[in-house]
Structure 1
Amino acid sequence: MTFPTPLTGVVPPVCTPLTPDREVDVPSLLRLVDHLVEGGVHGLFVLGSSSEAAYLTDRQRRLVVEAVAGHVAGRLPVLAGVIDMTTPRVLDHVRAVTAAGADAVVATAPFYARTHRAEIARHYRLIAAGSPVPVIAYDIPVSVHTKLPADVILDLAAEGALAGLKDSSGDLAGFREVVTGARGRPDVRGFSVLTGSELVVDAALAIGADGAVPGLANVDPHGYVRLDRLCRSGDWEGARSEQERLCALFGLVTVGDPERMGGGSSALGAFKAALHLRGIIDCPATAEPQVPLAPEEVERVGKYLALAGLL
């Protein structure tokens, strides 16, 4: 499909259901896609953090994109993560996911090696030069240890090297700098600014964001689409109420015992447990070496779903 510029609305980072032996469960993945489409989402982002992209093999990554792009068949834009350490490795992923049907690619700054802002800009320019589809920058310093500078992002947008930003930095002031810069610079056109937060979508849209990429939208796409609609209609009181309901539901990411597992195992395990409890995916397994939730932790996920009216 033609990629919309700017991309707006709710674009969930799609979880990757796995079988008990940790292969991609394609039937469950397609049921999840149907669940999201029926929820009214405006696009799909595969191979992001909530997709466990860092844990998947290259073969599995390509399978995910082929399955989702083939199933959606142009009804919604499909964004695919091309997350890797260096530019050559990212360009390999670009070739793979675009051949598999991705409508846009999403790339972080380089990582592992220490990176200078000039190298980050060069990284994105080289990706854009090698990509047949639009490139979205992904700001996630907790994972790549670099914060994307707002002026670098806006300059790349003005050059046409970047079509958008997914901001998972947690820095609302920095996010606002990009939003206001994109709106105020006449040389920046059609640039999408998307928040990766589950908890401040109403605030992000209020300051001019184009949309949201919340992992919790896997569990409750209808809620985030409703929130987006309320914000765009100017019903800020209704939006605040819906955002607070989603904030309460987001508590499910804390069910894992921190003495036994990391925050990623707890959050991704909870998303998948919720999808399993809702009958959308067959197995709640997370990729190795993440630690699985215990039965009592899964039971707590069910209580969050019940309180949110989802069971």
Structure 2
Amino acid sequence: MLTPFTPSGEVDTASLAALAEHLIGAGVNGLFACGSSAEIALLDDAQREQIIGTLVDTAAGRVPVVAGAIDSGTRRTIAHAKRAADLGVAAVVVTAPYYVDTHDDEVLAHFRTVASALDVPVIAYDIPSTVHRSLPADITIALAREGAVIGIKDSSGNVINFRRVLVETEDLDFSVLMGNEPLVETALFLGAHGAVPSLANVEPAGFVGMYRAAQHGDWSTVKREQTRLNRLRDITTIPDLARIGGFAALVGSMKSVLVDEGVISSSVGAAPFLPLTDEERAQVGSAASRLMAVAVDA
């Protein structure tokens, strides 16, 4: 989930609750708080807790809420995870340590130490674009077989790694989730248990429809929706990257559409992200309006 902010940079809890209702109403099976698209790296501890608490209260048991316990070291990760558990999440989502260069054995030790310190399950998160290292299949499979993690959100784009994890954990109660939006079709065809796409903030019905169509073996619908959603994703390339960073463009574009739809109140990002210009917002809105569609009937 995205994190809506007020113009002064505070978490907009009313908009956050409205976004949760937008997603639940579209039929999603769960909410992921404090992930990459939530601008997690730019949030302070109080904001993290405010987001998690708001979403747990809003979901009210209708769908599970999982939360990122993401930090550069093991002790901080455990502290975030314990607080999230106190707030009522169903599981925490944990990356490998970042900023420092880590050996595979250190990554294994990180996940094992975090898991052993908690009373809630851990989901691994492979996102090398931000962590700057991947989770090799060997690590994920070892952690799954030990019971240290109950699933993985794979945003690496490495389909070979993804498939191997699927095949070698199929005898376990282990969820393999695709986090890379253009690969949802591929992942579902391979047998993935679901997807966690940030673009679902904007178009949840499309992704829910893809998932349901795949369950019914309706691959022509899956293909059609993946093609449409790939085109919708291009809204995130409209902002001028000579002026703002790619991540600000990504979250700013999606928030802009949600403002136009009346779901959230502001498209502002966390500091130091710069906002989209009025012209960029207009172009994003025009492009999105042509590509938005009603839910797939599957």
Instruction: Tell me if TM exceeds 0.5.
Output: yes
Q: 1:100 Cα shift?
A: 1.1
Equivalent residue for 1:35, pick from 22, 25, 28: 22
Query: Which of 66, 77, 81 is matched with 1:94 structurally?
Result: 81
Distance (Å, rounded) in 1 between the aligned partners of 2:158 and 2:6: 36
How far does residue 309 in structure 1 lie from its aligned partner after superposition?
3.4
Q: CA shift at 1:103, angstroms? A: 0.9
Match of 2:270 among 287, 290, 298: 287
Other structure's SS at 2:17 match: helix
**2:253 pairs with 270, 280, 283, which one?**
270
2:288 alignment counterpart: 305
Among candidates 191, 205, 225, match of residue 242 of structure 1 = 225
Aligned to 2:37: 50
Q: Is 1:139–2:126 an aligned residue pair?
A: yes
TM-score, L = length of structure 1:
0.93
Indicate conservation of the 8 Å contact 2:157/2:183, yes or no: no
**How far, CA to CA, are the matches of 1:250 and 1:309 in structure 2?**
11
List runs of 5+ in structure 2 lacking aligned partners.
none
The question of whether the paired residues in 1 share the 8 Å contact of 2:9 and 2:270 is answered with: yes
**1:8 match:** none
Q: How does 1:1-311 map to 2 (within 5 A)?
A: 14-183=1-170, 186=171, 189-309=172-292
2:232–2:292 contact (8 Å) kept in structure 1: no
Deviations 1:82-119 (A, max 9, x none): 00000000001011111111110000001111100000
Letter in 2 for 1:277: D
Q: CA–CA distance in 2 between the matches of 1:261 and 1:162?
A: 36
Letter of the 1:179 counterpart: L
Distance 1:257 1:177 in 2: 38
Q: What amino acid sits opposite 1:121 in the alignment?
A: L
Distance in 1 of aligned mates of 2:252 and 2:56 = 25
Note the C-alpha offset of 1:310. 5.5
Q: Is the 8 A contact 2:178 2:196 kept in 1?
A: yes
Matched position secondary structure for 1:90? helix
Indicate the SS of the match to 2:181. coil
Which gives a bigger RCO, structure 1 or 2 (Cα 8 Å, sep 6+)?
Answer: 1
Q: Distance in 1 between matches of 2:241 and 2:58?
A: 38
Letter in 2 for 1:132: D
Structure 2 contact 141–168 (Cα < 8 Å) conserved:
yes
Q: Residue 112 of structure 2: SS of its match in structure 1?
A: helix
Moved >3 Å (runs of 4+)? none
SS in 1 for 2:153: strand
Q: What's the offset of the Cα at 1:173?
A: 1.4
Which residue in the other structure is 1:4 paired with?
A: none
How large is the Cα RMSD of the aligned pairs? 1.1
Distance across 1 between alignment mates of 2:119 and 2:57: 18
Whole-Å separation in 1 of the counterparts to 2:228 and 2:151: 28
Amino acid at match of 1:44: L
* 1:9 corresponding residue in structure 2: none
Identity of aligned residues (%): 44
SS in 1 for 2:182: coil
